């Protein structure tokens, strides 16, 4: 398979100035040098994105995902490393970027198309399609500053998708516009996929990544945490976001040494009988064998539960000091006890880890080591067994004092005055 984008050892350093001094006087006073703190927005990123693939990049705000996208697009230049892009590329970092409010829609189509790399002749060829797609036939000669924000975004999108690039970079722009417009955007993304184009999507909307991507990368602190199937990546991302075992790529994070290992993990329900599943609201006990080669002060056991769609259902509080314990050499058995599991039908997987309570070090993390199943004998549906009380206080019984019999048709419209208007 051909690689569409090769990212080789990309690093990007930003200089953070305490206060930006741009005037000559200040520079002279400081002797030409300005004190700054180097900040590595990206550190040694390596990834290959294949042709025809839809590749997602997940990460929290400030993790460097947009910086990476800008580097691929050529908007920013990396401090170190090299990116090779095969074929034409269009970046949709912002819809309608570069629109001149004083110019007409027509002029802006040409300007924006040119900025995205089309020649005048090419834009002329696509002009009618763009206008039709943006649904702006009657307003195309109006100045863009009179457009509504929806029209503005439609025009921007219409130009960008009509560039028909081999590689399309999208930065969360799919999150704008109304529902029908988002549909249109997704239709386009799917058409691009069918045509074998490469798409790189940056988002923190996990469902966009899950539904559209063939692979996804998780980033944190300018480093790659994982490149995997979207489901697995989303799980890592959510675990990261929610603080279950901080999977930071920095030196302090990651699995540290071979001091401690989690052995077998069992799930057991508190109900009677030989059944393998538990009923909603039954107790659940997870036991994990922890083997330790040395004394581990301030260890903390963490647990996370995911449903069959890999969505995180529950993760234990990583900051609760009452979970911390000094683990002696030789280890022991960790027992996670849920007195009540208020879940409905489904198969749930359990991940167990031991981390340091004082810093971000993870001693061991067993991902989805065991599963348990919840079978609901009742007819409630959904995911969570919410406690529910239903009371029905009837609005004053009718004049005769009769209460409608159970099963009789109850109409909220049987109010005084209603009969007269229908009669």
Partner 1 sequence: MSLGIDEPAATGSEPERPTVIGGSTRFVPGQSNDRITIVNGKVQLGQRLIDLWRNRDLLILLTRTELKVKYKESVLGYAWSMLNPALVLGIYYAVFKIIARTQQPYFAIWLFCGLLAWNLFNNSAMGSTTVVVGKAGIIKKVAFPRELLAMSTVGVAMVLFTIQLVVLVVFLVAFQVTPAWSYLPLLPLALLALIVFTSAVSIFLSAVNVYLRDTQHLTEVLLMAWFWGTPIVYTWGQISQIVSTHPSIAWIKYLYLCNPVTPVVMTFQRAIYGKTSYIATKNNPGQAVTHVLPNWGVGQYAGLLGIVLVVGIGLFLLALIVFGRLEGNFAEEL
| Token code pair at residue 108 | 């802006």
DSSP for 279-341, written as a single string: -TT--EEEEEEEEESS-EEEEEEEEEEE-TT--EEEE--TT-GGGEEEEPTT-EEEEEEES--
Q: Confirm or reject binding of residue 43 to partner 1 (CB under 8 A).
A: no
Closest CB 132 distance from partner 1, rounded Å: 8
Site for partner 1 in 47-66 (CB under 8 A): 51-52, 54
Q: Confirm or reject binding of residue 298 to partner 1 (CB under 8 A).
A: no
CA 71 to chain centre: 21
Identify which range of 57-65, 100-108, 326-334, 364-372 contacts partner 1 by CB under 8 A: 100-108
Among residues 16 and 397, whose Cβ is nearest to partner 1?
16
Closest CB 44 distance from partner 1, rounded Å: 14
- From residue 286, give the alpha-carbon distance in Å to each of 243, 330, 374: 21, 20, 15
Length of the chain: 423
Among residues 75 and 276, whose Cβ is nearest to partner 1?
75
The span from the CA of 282 to the CA of 366, in Å, is 24
Residue pair 381/347 in contact by the 8 Å Cβ criterion: no
Site for partner 1 in 3-42 (CB under 8 A): 14, 22-25, 27
Q: Give the one residue of 62, 87, 271, 404 binding partner 1; rule: CB under 8 A.
A: 87
Residue pair 269/287 in contact by the 8 Å Cβ criterion: no
Q: Give the one residue of 40, 103, 314, 344 binding partner 1; rule: CB under 8 A.
A: 103
Among residues 141 and 195, whose Cβ is nearest to partner 1?
195
Among residues 114 and 370, whose Cβ is nearest to partner 1?
114
Closest CB 313 distance from partner 1, rounded Å: 22
Closest CB 245 distance from partner 1, rounded Å: 24
Site string for partner 1, 152-181 (x = CB under 8 A): ------x--xxxx-x---------------
Backbone φ, ψ for residue 217 (5° rounding):
-120, 140
Q: Confirm or reject binding of residue 212 to partner 1 (CB under 8 A).
A: yes
Among residues 161 and 218, whose Cβ is nearest to partner 1?
161
Site string for partner 1, 225-264 (x = CB under 8 A): ----xxx---------------------------------
Site for partner 1 in 306-345 (CB under 8 A): none
Question: Three-state SS for 195?
Answer: coil
Among residues 115 and 397, whose Cβ is nearest to partner 1?
115
Among residues 213 and 286, whose Cβ is nearest to partner 1?
213
Site for partner 1 in 347-376 (CB under 8 A): none
Q: Which residue has the tokens 């000091």?
A: 321
Within 8 A by CB and 6+ apart from 153, the residues are 95, 96, 176, 177, 181
| Token code pair at residue 206 | 């996990």
Identify which range of 107-115, 253-261, 305-313, 406-414 contacts partner 1 by CB under 8 A: 107-115
Within 8 A by CB and 6+ apart from 13, the residues are 38, 39, 40, 41, 79
Question: How many chain residues are in contact with partner 1, going by CB under 8 A?
Answer: 75
Q: Confirm or reject binding of residue 71 to partner 1 (CB under 8 A).
A: yes
Q: Give the one residue of 30, 36, 46, 102 binding partner 1; rule: CB under 8 A.
A: 102
Among residues 9 and 328, whose Cβ is nearest to partner 1?
9
Residue pair 378/269 in contact by the 8 Å Cβ criterion: no
Residue 45 parent element (H or E): strand 36-50
The span from the CA of 341 to the CA of 338, in Å, is 6
Q: Confirm or reject binding of residue 133 to partner 1 (CB under 8 A).
A: yes
Residue pair 55/189 in contact by the 8 Å Cβ criterion: no
Q: Confirm or reject binding of residue 211 to partner 1 (CB under 8 A).
A: yes
- Burial (CB < 10 A; 0-12, 13-18, 19+), residue 382, is exposed
Among residues 137 and 340, whose Cβ is nearest to partner 1?
137
């Amino acid at each position: 398979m051909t690689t569409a984008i090769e990212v080789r050892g990309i690093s990007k350093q930003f200089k953070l100035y305490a206060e930006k001094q741009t005037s000559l006087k200040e520079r002279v006073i400081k002797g030409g040098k300005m004190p700054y703190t180097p900040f590595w927005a990206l550190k040694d990123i390596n990834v290959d994105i294949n042709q025809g693939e839809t590749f997602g990049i997940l990460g929290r705000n400030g993790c460097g995902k947009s910086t990476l996208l800008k580097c691929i697009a050529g908007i920013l230049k990396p401090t170190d490393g090299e990116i090779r892009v095969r074929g034409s590329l269009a970046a949709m970092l912002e819809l309608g970027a570069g629109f001149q409010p004083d110019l007409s829609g027509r002029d802006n189509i040409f300007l924006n198309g040119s900025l995205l790399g089309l020649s005048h002749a090419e834009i002329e060829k696509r002009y009618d399609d763009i206008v039709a797609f943006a649904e702006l036939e009657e307003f195309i000669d109006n100045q863009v500053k009179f457009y509504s924000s929806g029209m503005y975004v439609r025009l921007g999108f219409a130009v960008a998708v009509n560039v028909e690039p081999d590689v399309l970079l999208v930065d969360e722009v799919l999150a704008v516009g109304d529902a029908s417009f988002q549909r249109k955007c997704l239709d386009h993304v799917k058409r691009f996929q069918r045509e074998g184009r490469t798409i790189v999507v940056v988002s923190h909307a996990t469902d966009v990544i899950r539904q559209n991507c063939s692979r996804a990368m998780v980033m944190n602190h300018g480093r790659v945490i994982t490149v995997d199937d979207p489901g697995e990546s989303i799980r890592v991302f959510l675990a990261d976001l929610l603080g279950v075992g901080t999977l930071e790529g920095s030196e302090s994070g990651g699995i540290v040494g071979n001091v401690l290992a989690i052995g077998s993990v069992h799930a057991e329900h508190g109900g009677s009988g030989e059944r393998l599943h538990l009923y909603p609201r039954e107790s659940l006990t997870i036991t994990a064998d922890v083997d330790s080669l040395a004394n581990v002060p301030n260890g903390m056991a963490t647990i996370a539960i995911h449903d069959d769609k890999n969505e995180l259902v529950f993760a234990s509080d990583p900051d609760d000091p009452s979970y911390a314990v000094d683990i002696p050499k030789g280890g022991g058995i960790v027992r996670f006890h849920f007195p009540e599991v208020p879940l409905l039908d489904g198969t749930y997987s359990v991940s167990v880890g031991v981390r340091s309570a004082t810093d971000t070090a993870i001693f061991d993390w067993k991902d989805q080591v065991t599963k348990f199943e919840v079978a609901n004998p009742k007819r409630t549906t959904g995911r969570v067994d919410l406690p529910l009380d239903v009371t029905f206080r009837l609005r004053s019984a009718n004049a005769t004092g009769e209460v409608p019999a159970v099963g009789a048709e109850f109409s909220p419209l049987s109010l005084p005055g209603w009969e007269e208007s229908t009669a």
